[in-house]
Structure 1
Amino acid sequence: MFELKKLISSFIYPFPIFLISSALALYLLQRGNRRRAKILFVFSFAWITILSYPPFSALLLKPLENAYPKVQLHSPFPRYIHVLGNGHTSSQNIPLSSELSLTSLARVNEGILLYKSHPGMKLIFSGYGGGDSVSNARKNSQLAIALGVNSNDIVILEEAKDTAEEAIAVKKIVGSQPLILVTSASHMVRASSIFRKNGICVIEAPTDFLVKKEDTLWQFPSSGGLRRSECAFHEYLGLLWEKLKGSL
C-alpha cells in the first residue's frame, strides 16, 4: 500500500502533470488534432508558469506553514523530542552533513537546539532507509552525535515508513507523556493531527520554513517557486489521503 501510494502520487504533482499534458499535446498534434493540441500546450505552460510564480506558491503554502508558530517551551519541560525522518544518501565520498537532505538537516538542527536548551531530554529519530542501506533515523542520529548529542540520549525508530507509522512507533515509547514534535512547517498540520489521533500529547516545533517573508509581485517564475508548490501539493494530497483512510 505504501509503495502504491508513492507511485500514484508521483504522477499528480505539478511538474509531472506539466510533462504528461505536454506529451499528450504532442501526440494530438501528431494525429492532426491541432485545436486540442493547442489548448493542451497553452494549459501546460500556463500551469507550470503559475505554479512556479513565487507569490502564488506562497499563497498555497502559507496556510500550512502559518498554522503553528515557533515553539515556546515552559517548565516543566517535556522529556522527549521526536524528529521526523526525511531523506539522505549514504556516501563515503561526501561529508556527513551533505549526506542528509536539506529538509533533514533543518529538522535535525532544530531537534539538537531544543535538546541543548534544556537538560535531561531524549532525542527520538525515526525513518526507514528506503533504497539506502542505512536508515534515515540512524543517519540523522549520526549527525546529532557528531554535533555533541550524547548517544545515550538518542532513540532510533528505523522501521517507520511514513508519519502514521512514526506515530504508532513513538506512542509505545512516550505513552501519555508530552512530546515535542519536530518536522517541516508545511508538514506539521498533517503530522500533528496524525499524532494526536494516536493519543499523543504533542507540542509542535515547526522548522524548515519555505515562506520566510512577504513576496513582491514583481518576480519571475523560478525553481524555488515550483518547489514550494510541489511541497504544498504533497501536503494537501497527504491530508486528503489520511482523511480517506480515516486516519484524521
Structure 2
Amino acid sequence: MLPINLLVELGILSLLLMATRLAALARKLAVTTLVLLALSAFSPLGNLLLYPLESRFPPWDSLRGAPDGIIVLGGSVDTDLSAAHRTPVVTHAADRMLAPAELARRYPNARIVFTGGTSNLIATEAREADYSAPILENLGIPKQRIILERDSRNTWENAIFTKQLVAPKPGERWLLVTSAFHMPRSIGVFREAGFDVEAYPVDWRMGGRDELFAFARKGRDGLEKTDVAMREWIGLLAYRVTGRTRELLPGPAKD
C-alpha cells in the first residue's frame, strides 16, 4: 500500500467514524491525517527522506575503464498502458532508458541487459522488457546487443534472474543503471545475489543538499517526493528484515 494512499484512506475512515460513538476519536484521526498530508505535500519531508538515498552513490567514474556489460532495471514503462495502446508508454524515470543508449555508443563492446517483467499481482502476458526493447533500439542500440530478462517481478528477482542469464565471469565489470533513490536497495540485492556491479545512478528527484530544507511550491510535487521516498525506505527495511540485503542502507564498496 502506498503511504499517501494510506493517509487518504485514514481520512475517509475518520469521516465514516464521525457518525458513530467514536466521533471524538474520528476528529483526532482526521486532524492527524490532515496534518500529515500537509507535511507530506509542502514541508521538506520528502527532500529529507530522499537525500540520503540519492546521495548514497556518487556518479560513476568513467576513468576506471570500459565496462563489460550494462544492466538496466525496469520501472520506466507502464505495461498495462503499453498493452492497451500496443506501443511502449513511458510514464516516469525515462532516464533509465536514455542512459544505456548513451553508454552503448560510448562502449560498443559492452553487453546491454534490460531486466523487467511485470509487478502486477494478477499475471498478464505484458512484460516490460518486451516494450522496452523497441525503445532501446530506436535510441540506436542494435537489436543483437540487447539481452532481455522478462520474468522478474521485483528488484530481488532482477538480480537473481539477471545473474543466471548473463553468468558474469570473475574480473568482469558490470554497470547497474537505475534511479538514484533506488540505487542503495538495488546494489544491496545484487551483492547478496553474488553479482558484483557498479552503480550508475540516474533519474534524480532533487538537486542536492541545497534543496534539503526547501518547501514545496506545489503540493503535488511534495506528495510525489514523499511517496517515492517512503516506499523506498519501506522496501529497504523489508529487504533487510527478509535477508535480501545485509545493510539497511547499502553504500559504495570499501576498497
Q: TM-score, normalised to structure 2's length?
A: 0.84
Q: Residue 184 of structure 2 aligns to which amino acid in structure 1?
A: V
Task: Supply the distance in 2 between the matched residues of 1:228 and 1:247 (Cα, whole angstroms).
Answer: 25
What's 2:153 paired with? 161
User: Do structure 1's residue 201 and structure 2's residue 196 form an aligned pair?
Assistant: yes
Match status 1:247 vs 2:244: yes
Alpha-carbon deviation of 1:82? 0.3
The aligned length equals: 234
What TM-score do you get using the length of structure 1 for normalisation?
0.87
Which residue number corresponds to residue 31 of structure 2?
A: 42
**Percent identical across equivalent pairs?**
24
Contact 1:123–1:155, Cα closer than 8 Å, also in 2? yes
Indicate the RMSD between aligned Cα atoms, in angstroms.
2.0
1:31 paired to 2:20: yes
Superposed counterparts of 1:49-198, under 5 Å: 49-53=38-42, 55-86=44-75, 87-88=77-78, 89-90=81-82, 93=85, 96=88, 99-103=89-93, 105-129=94-118, 130=120, 133-172=125-164, 173=166, 174-176=168-170, 177-198=172-193
Q: What is the DSSP-based 3-state SS (H/G/I as helix, E as strand, rest coil) of the residue aligned with 1:83?
A: strand
Shift of 1:94: 8.1
| Aligned residues of 1:14 and 1:51 also touching (Cα < 8 A) | no
Give unpaired runs (5+ residues) of structure 1.
Answer: 1-9
Within 5 Å, which residues of 2 pair with 1:203-222?
203-213=198-208, 214-215=210-211, 217=214, 219-220=216-217, 222=219
Alpha-carbon distance in structure 1 between the residues aligned to 2:135 and 2:214? 39
Q: 1:236 aligns with which of 225, 233, 237?
A: 233
Q: CA deviation at 1:149?
A: 0.6
For residue 154 of structure 2, what is the amino acid of its counterpart?
D
